[in-house]
Structure 1
Amino acid sequence: MKKHPLPDKKFFDLQAQNQFNVQQYASSGSLEATPYNRRDFYKIWVLIGKSILHYADRSIEINQPALIFTNPLVPYSLESKVAARKGYSCIFTEAFLKAGGRIEHLQQSTLFKTGSDKVFFLDKTQLAAVNRIYEDMMTELATDYVYKYDVIRNYVNLLIHISLKMQPALSSAPHANAAARIAAMFMELLERQFPISSPDRELKLKKANDFAKSLSVHVNHLNHAVKEVTGKSTSILISERITHEAQALLKHTDWSVSDIAFSLGFEYPTYFNNFFKKNTGVTPLSLRR
């Protein structure tokens, strides 16, 4: 039987090193709410330290160690109630888990699906077990083992299965300044999609309904909050941002108009041409001349 050598470790590292990271963290000082802004990354993290996790129209008080699952399409901010907090975190792309044969779409997963809170409070035994998994992930990541990312995927899946056995914490009542928070998180979610870095990367959120679904609010509620805070409708703000990005791509890239149209979510170039002319008064090609 012909023997096949093991694949070069660098092949696997280059494929996965930008799709996963794990760390132990400790922070102190500022008590201001801080947003999480890593695009395209799912996150599973342990938080120790009294805090409030803010979503668009709801908040969750963290008053004991917690295991938290977050989706890159759902913006949030963390307000610390103490000067120091600590824990562990791992971030990964959907492609990272799919490479291990986990074919369920993460956005539809029970733990990452939009519209649900995924905060699990941990007792001492559970905290010790979860912390041990993170320590094992960090140890494995530092090794030279050729299949270390397969091992790490198993650890991530273990965190997922441990959590599926638990009940999530309940949200507190909506924040008094919900309109301002909804508008701010809408703007953050809108900005997360830009700049467009590749013509193969299509805009995911293009309409008010798309944003409302990601923020888990009714579209009318979203429109009212955004209009109240910004003075502009949700649709106008989306159109303005897409127009601004289109102008930048036309001026600073050599992409074809068709590629730009696709990346900005237009099914046909003619739709993009009509949209661009309506919002700027000129055609895409004339802007490039």
Structure 2
Amino acid sequence: MKQAESVSDFYKRLPSHAPTAVPLDNAGIGHINVFSRETCSVVSPYSRRDFYKVSLIIGTGRIYYADKWIEIDRPALLFSNPFVPYSWEAESAEQSGWYCLFTEEFVQHSERMHNLRDSPLFRIGSNPIFFPDQVQLGELSAIFQKMQAEMASSYPHKYDVLRSYLHLIIHEAMRSNPAEHFAAYSNASSRVSALFLELLERQFPIDSPQVNLKLKTPTDYAGALSVHVNHLNRSVKEITGKTTSAHIAARIVSEAKALLQHTDWNISDIAYSLGFEYASYFTLFFKKHSGISPTQLRGVV
């Protein structure tokens, strides 16, 4: 794993996609571009991107997302955000569809998309995959084709049109299960617990062995949320059935597995990045919570 891939890095990795007429930052409004997947890479690197991406995947393969993987065995819509690393491995020879990448700055110029990171589809910890039915697939395909045509146009307000199309794609996915996506907080404990889980996820992924975890204990998280640690512990236990410490430990183990499987960092670097002073402490912690040592896990990958 490396530092988050920027838009410039993306075009360096795929020079055939490099725009000739699309600026990386169009007059301060950020960047957007739309591509056909027919020329996409068979395997994309496992890393975090410094931009949002919406992909209509027609073809089979696997998405590796954080510490999970998802089998794509039918047309799918993938929503990726700048906070969670992912990679794609194609299985079928035929790959088609489209994808759109865009920066935070691009959506900041639209009030209705201003808080995109809080959208149910881009929110940390949410399910990033939506499987459209045949009718929705036709509608989504038409929208992406219109976006491609708009990108090539000289219409002076085309970026406003592109935001509208992007908004339509997001809502086409969200309408599939509104009850799940728009669940309201039932009480104060629910809100505190949700804020804790959100903050926990925002500590990850770890991008560099030189940067270590800042929030390590329930007390650290309580301080960041401006609540008493006892209130935090009670709320998290009430809502999730698990202790605050258990959530923190599980997320650290999850990140450790990703680092062991997807980087060449040595065990000491991984231990330091996850907040352990000594590699031996990390090894004991990891074995306690996973039942296997770090070196054993790396050996079976």
TM-score w.r.t. the length of structure 2 is 0.55
Stretches (4+) displaced over 4 A: 186-189, 223-229
Check whether the contact 1:51–1:82 (CA below 8 A) recurs between aligned residues.
yes
CA deviations on 1:14-61 (whole Å, 9 max, x unpaired) are 226751011112148x85x42265732100110011111112321111
Gaps of 5+ in 1: 1-9, 169-185, 195-204, 211-215, 240-289
Separation (CA, whole Å) in 1 of partners of 2:31 and 2:55 = 16
Residue 218, structure 1, aligned to residue 246, structure 2: no
* Match of residue 90, structure 1, among 100, 113, 136: 100
Deviation at 1:104, TM superposition (A): 4.2
Deviation at 1:189, TM superposition (A): 5.0
Residue 52, structure 1, aligned to residue 52, structure 2: no
Cα–Cα, structure 1 residues 17 and 225, in superposed 2: closer, same or farther, change >3 Å?
closer
Aligned to 1:257: none
Residue 138, structure 1, aligned to residue 148, structure 2: yes
How many pairs are equivalent? 196
Separation (CA, whole Å) in 2 of partners of 1:120 and 1:103 = 19
Following superposition of structure 1 onto structure 2, how do residues 239-254 of structure 1 map, counting pairs within 5 Å?
none
The residue type equivalent to 1:218 in the other structure is: R
Following superposition of structure 1 onto structure 2, how do residues 34-183 of structure 1 map, counting pairs within 5 Å?
34-35=44-45, 39-102=49-112, 104-167=114-177
Check whether the contact 2:252–2:274 (CA below 8 A) recurs between aligned residues.
no
Aligned to 2:36: 24
Q: Secondary structure at the match of 2:268?
A: coil
Aligned to 2:207: 190
Identical aligned residues as a percent = 34
Cα–Cα, structure 1 residues 143 and 36, in superposed 2: closer, same or farther, change >3 Å?
farther
The residue type equivalent to 1:26 in the other structure is: E
Separation (CA, whole Å) in 2 of partners of 1:132 and 1:36 = 30
Separation (CA, whole Å) in 1 of partners of 2:84 and 2:44 = 15
Gaps of 5+ in 2: 1-21, 179-202, 217-248, 276-301
Aligned to 1:174: none
Deviation at 1:144, TM superposition (A): 1.4
Deviation at 1:101, TM superposition (A): 1.7
Residue 236, structure 1, aligned to residue 242, structure 2: no
The residue type equivalent to 1:207 in the other structure is: L
Check whether the contact 1:208–1:234 (CA below 8 A) recurs between aligned residues.
no
Relative contact order (alpha carbons < 8 A, sep ≥ 6): 1 or 2 greater? 1
The residue type equivalent to 1:130 in the other structure is: L
CA deviations on 1:188-209 (whole Å, 9 max, x unpaired) are 8505x99xxxxxxxxxx85265
Aligned to 1:276: none
Aligned to 2:291: none
* Match of residue 213, structure 2, among 186, 199, 207: 207
Structure (1 or 2) with the larger CA radius of gyration? 1
- Superposition RMSD in Å: 3.9
Deviation at 1:140, TM superposition (A): 1.3
Deviation at 1:225, TM superposition (A): 6.8
Cα–Cα, structure 1 residues 127 and 36, in superposed 2: closer, same or farther, change >3 Å?
farther
